[in-house]
Amino acid sequence: MIKMELIDIFKKRTRHPFRPRASDIINRLFPDFDYADCPGGSLVAGTCMFMDKRLYVIGQQKPRPVDLQKKQDLSKLNYGMLTADDHSAIITLMKRAREKDTENSIIFTMVDTYGADISMYSAQRFQAFFISHLIRDFFMIPVRTISLIIGEGGSGGALAIQMTDIRGQMDDALYATAPPESTASIIFRDPAMINEALSVLKPGARELKSLGVIDRIVPSVKDVTDCQAISDNIKHFLSRAIKDLSRSRIKKLIKRRETRAKQFGLLKGTGTFYDIKRYIEVPIKKALHKPPPNIKIVNFSSMTEVSDDYGRADHQFGTGEFIECGAMKGKEPREAGCGKLIPLQSFLDNHNVCPECGYSYILGASGWLDSLVDTGSFHELHRNLTVDQLLEENVITDYYREFLAKQEGKSPFKESLVVGSARIHNFRAVLAVSEFYFCGGSMGVVFGEKFRRAVDYAIQENLPFVSLCCSGGARLYEGILALMQMAKTIESVIRLKRNGLPFISILADPSTGGAIASYASLGDIVIAEPGAMVIFAGPRVMESSGFEVDEKLIRSQNLHNISGAIYDRLDYYYGVRGIQELCERKNMKSAIAKFLEFYNRNSYRPRRKGWKKGPMW
């Protein structure tokens, strides 16, 4: 390919309207292809013979100009994004591959999508849960797997079918956490700053190969519309990949998948020495729990906002301070809540929930720890782990450093995930709690690495694992490495389950993005607080993309009701179970203890040296 600037590759080649689609390549490469029935036009799948192997092909496909004759065609074809129905169909095809001759079968996926479908239709069918289950299946399936980014790979929609044994990318294709326009809107508040967004995302094949996201680069051709020439290059890549995989046993490949996932985001300071060095500190109880930064606090006598230093660890609350239920800084007039004045201390004691109407504010990690664990029992692990310890300096952009600097003082913690060991009604457990007030609880390399280390600790100590999700999505400033943390946390859950340890997942408000589409939806038990928003893409992103939003349908109460019907459609949902229980914050600790005791009395048994028979407490 002629040397071009990244933005020119993006506009003139990756997004070229006549770039060959997955079905074009299939028709050129596999003349005996047997197409499977697919729910819509965004998924092409089926089987054929190739190099004496049974090939199971899964392809994402954007609409072509000829497909868009009417306005409703775009809605039907959904920009090429896969729905929950499509993901269910992929699981069905993978199930067929698993049940046949696995030694002589190959799964080949072609990625070309902005991301997964973010419509209300898919949201109510647990789209995020399907994505996490698909990634998990690709890690565990006893079949050799190959993937290729043929155009634009985006978000969890691409990741759902890209975690394979050999991962390729066309050298004029791009693979990113989010489309450049979306990234520019979120980071720079200007969708036109695509060039700057691309510099943050670094979605090019050579950059991604250096990060270990892909393995091989497939050369493009001079004419981006030349389907035959492109297919010939893909055929060469696929043939070589099949030969290379045939030399390795499937068990070895499965182990390699997990090993690779552990390394995502560790660009420096890796190895046994760094894993042994653990930072253990005990946060001050209660004193760290302060009001959310956007809550409006008033003094009963003067009705003015208090000073900015309110809520420090050494500050004692006065008796005259109240909050107006539902009021937010910068939002006038009040949009929610009952509007009553609530004593501040009563509000904090009730875990940031109005005792009059039940309206809740987002609770930070310190507040959740106060409400979930026995007083004084939480021992934090890896408190001082930061981005600088994991990423090379040239990877951390000036934009990112400026963003991190703005987070100082918003949270008592140093990252968006807090991990440690504690007791919950005397039951020992390892916890991973999102900190929404640090970067919106976003998943980045530190988040993923701390989660992995927490799981390692749970396995080492043979303890149950409890996670609490309160996240706004992936941390776009870290580019593709942020997206890869979905795979890393899922691999950690796989190891946790292999060791027979209980995993309880709590969904707090909000549970969105990569967090809900990875570890958070894989709990043995999934508990949600009432009113929690549980969705892959938030309402703001949905509306900006032209999708209708009805927030009532993506709140935990509605999704819990829908979950009850899952058992009537197991041929559609497979392992997805949705939300099993709703529980208010004040009762969450008892709910967790209930399941910990159940595990303790039944299948789960602590395994410790010198342990004597008897209850865990």
Predicted pLDDT of residue 286: 45
Residue 72's SS3 state is: helix
Residues 242, 321, single domain; the answer is no
Residues 470, 436, single domain; the answer is yes
At residue 604, does pLDDT exceed 60?
no
Q: What average pLDDT does range 229-238 have in this prediction?
A: 97
Residues 43, 112, single domain; the answer is yes
Q: Express each pLDDT in 537-575 by its tens digit.
A: 877 777 777 788 888 999 999 999 999 999 999 999 999
Two tokens at 547? 């999708």
At residue 320, does pLDDT exceed 80?
no
Question: Please, are residues 511 and 492 in contact by the beta-carbon 8 Å criterion?
Answer: no
Q: Express each pLDDT in 255-267 by its tens digit.
A: 999 999 999 988 7
Residues 301, 230, single domain; the answer is no
Q: Is residue 288 domain-resident?
A: no
**What pTM did the predictor assign?**
0.87
Which band of pLDDT confidence, cut at 50, 70 and 90, is reported for residue 304? very low
Which band of pLDDT confidence, cut at 50, 70 and 90, is reported for residue 76? low
Residues 381, 510, single domain; the answer is yes
How are beta strands 34-35 and 427-434 bridged, if at all? Answer: unpaired
Residues 234, 380, single domain; the answer is no
| Residue that is last in its domain, among 263, 284, 312 | 263
Residues 379, 321, single domain; the answer is no
Predicted pLDDT of residue 393: 85
At residue 289, does pLDDT exceed 80?
no
Which band of pLDDT confidence, cut at 50, 70 and 90, is reported for residue 5? confident
Q: Is residue 329 domain-resident?
A: yes
Question: Please, are residues 142 and 257 in contact by the beta-carbon 8 Å criterion?
Answer: no
CATH number, domain of 461, equals: 3.90.226.10
Two tokens at 198? 């691309």
Number of domains within the chain: 3
- The crossing angle, in degrees rounded to 10, of helices 22-29 and 227-246 is 70
Q: Express each pLDDT in 34-68 by its tens digit.
A: 999 999 889 999 999 999 999 999 999 998 888 88
Residues 335, 388, single domain; the answer is no
Q: Is residue 272 domain-resident?
A: no
Closest CA to 212 of 173, 263, 253: 263
Looking at residue 477, what DSSP letter applies? G
Question: Please, are residues 481 and 445 in contact by the beta-carbon 8 Å criterion?
Answer: yes
191-195, 281-285, 535-539: least confident range:
281-285
Predicted pLDDT of residue 74: 64
Strand order of the β-sheet with 321-328 is 295-299, 321-328, 341-343
Which band of pLDDT confidence, cut at 50, 70 and 90, is reported for residue 192? confident
Backbone angles phi, psi at 609, to 5 degrees: -65, 135
Residues 584, 469, single domain; the answer is yes
Domain extent for 546: 365-601
At residue 464, does pLDDT exceed 80?
yes
Q: Is residue 281 domain-resident?
A: no
Q: Is residue 531 domain-resident?
A: yes
Q: Express each pLDDT in 495-528 by its tens digit.
A: 999 999 999 999 999 999 999 999 999 999 999 9
Predicted pLDDT of residue 333: 75
Q: Express each pLDDT in 429-443 by its tens digit.
A: 999 999 999 999 999
Predicted pLDDT of residue 178: 87
Q: How many CB atoms lie within 10 A of CB 53?
A: 18
Query: Strands (DSSP E) along 363-435, which ranges?
Result: 379-381, 417-424, 427-434
> ω into residue 333 within 30 of 0, thus cis?
yes
Of these ranges, 222-231, 262-271, 333-342, 600-609, the one predicted with the greatest mean pLDDT is 222-231
Q: Which amino acid does the sequence have at 446?
A: V
Which band of pLDDT confidence, cut at 50, 70 and 90, is reported for residue 272? low
Kindly report the average pLDDT of the chain as a whole number.
86
Query: How far apart are the C-alpha atoms of 51 and 165, rounded to whole Å?
Result: 18
Residues 112, 242, single domain; the answer is yes
> 3-state SS of 181-209?
HHHHHHHHCCCCCHHHHHHHHCCCHHHHH
Residues 517, 573, single domain; the answer is yes
Q: What average pLDDT does range 156-164 have in this prediction?
A: 95
Predicted pLDDT of residue 421: 97
Q: Is residue 575 domain-resident?
A: yes
Query: How far apart are the C-alpha atoms of 307 and 318, rounded to whole Å?
Result: 13
177-181, 345-349, 473-477: least confident range:
345-349
Percent of the chain at pLDDT exceeding 70: 87
Two tokens at 527? 């508990």
Predicted pLDDT of residue 330: 66
Helix H or strand E encompassing 490: helix 480-498
Predicted pLDDT of residue 302: 28
Q: Looking up tokens 């390699």, which residue turns up? A: 256
